[in-house]
Amino acid sequence: MEFQVRKLNSQDIQNLKDDWLPTAEANEELPTTSFKQAVTWAENVENGSTQTQASVYGVICSDGRIHAIFDRMDIHLNSAKGYFKILSMVVAPHLDLSGIPKEDFFVARQQFSKVIAEVIAHGMVVLQEHPTATKVKFFASGSVTLGLFQKVWATFDPDVLEQLNLKTDVYGNWAEFSKI
């Protein structure tokens, strides 16, 4: 399955309402309120009714279904020490591992990992494409995402990172790539 990472528009927000909210409400294991808050936040950011520097992006598959949303903040990009933050990532209810039946867990975890990999790749691309940005920082808001970040960051090939002129670090709930 191919994914695209892009800034959400009003049609995407409607898709979230039509897909995420009924899916979350149908699963007794999921905290429906957190999905409602995430969709409301995305809608408020998209329509400009909230005070934030963030933009909401989505990981969208080829059929248009949104598998995750996250906030991206561009911090001081006009200065020599500018950077990007990727925050508040929420995976779709159909991928939220806390609501997956045991028999579907490993397939869902694999899909979850692919979605997180798309977010990481997006961060690396925007970092490499921006001439003055020095780093991209990812915040893991949950233990599953944090564990995945820690495993992913531990497996990066140092030679590949060197070829890309990047170094990486994980601390607390943060993981980052920095230009060398």
* Segment 152-179, tens digit of pLDDT: 888 888 888 888 889 998 888 999 999 9
Pull the structure tokens for residue 2.
């191919």
Number of domains, the chain: 1
pLDDT for the residue 1: 66
Predicted model pTM? 0.92
Q: Is the pLDDT higher at 146 or at 8? A: 8
Range with the poorest average pLDDT among 74-88, 121-135, 145-159 = 145-159
Query: Which domain does 89 fall in, by range?
Result: 3-179
Looking up residue 129, the CATH number of its domain turns out to be 3.40.630
Q: Are 3 and 64 in contact (CB under 8 A)?
A: no
64 pLDDT tier (thresholds 50, 70, 90): very high
Whole-number Cα distances in Å, 122 to 20, 37, 117, 155: 23, 24, 8, 18
CA–CA gap between residue 91 and residue 118 (Å, rounded): 12
